[in-house]
Amino acid sequence: MTPELLAGDRGKYWSEPLGISFRAARALLNRTQAEVANDVGLSLATVKDLERGSHWAASSATMQEYYEQQRIEFLGWSDASTKRFYGVGVRWLA
């Protein structure tokens, strides 16, 4: 699936309100929220909020960098016309 193929059929495909899934990345690593908070240097409350969709530029960047250093790749793309995200997920970086 590519963004070009999606244009005419947006309603047929699952979309997400968030473009990055920190929860999926954490699950792939098989770590608890407390472990990630400790590793990243953020509070447990911040990790929970980021997983629920809160966005603070510095904290989000820190979390994304942490997971990318663990060789996790974030997937997906946005559709500006719907303000939704498609193909959101994670995988091990090859």
Kindly tell me if the per-residue pLDDT of 6 is higher than 60. no
Structure tokens that stand for 29 in this block: 């690593």
Q: What is the pLDDT of residues 10-46, one digit of tens each?
A: 677 778 888 899 999 999 999 999 999 999 999 999 9
The residue among 58, 79, 64, 55 whose CA lies nearest residue 4 is 79
Quickly list DSSP for 8-50.
T-GGGS--BS-S--HHHHHHHHT--HHHHHHHHT--HHHHHHH
Mean pLDDT, the chain, as a whole number? Answer: 90
pLDDT of residue 78: 87
Kindly tell me if the per-residue pLDDT of 60 is higher than 80. yes
pLDDT of residue 1: 53
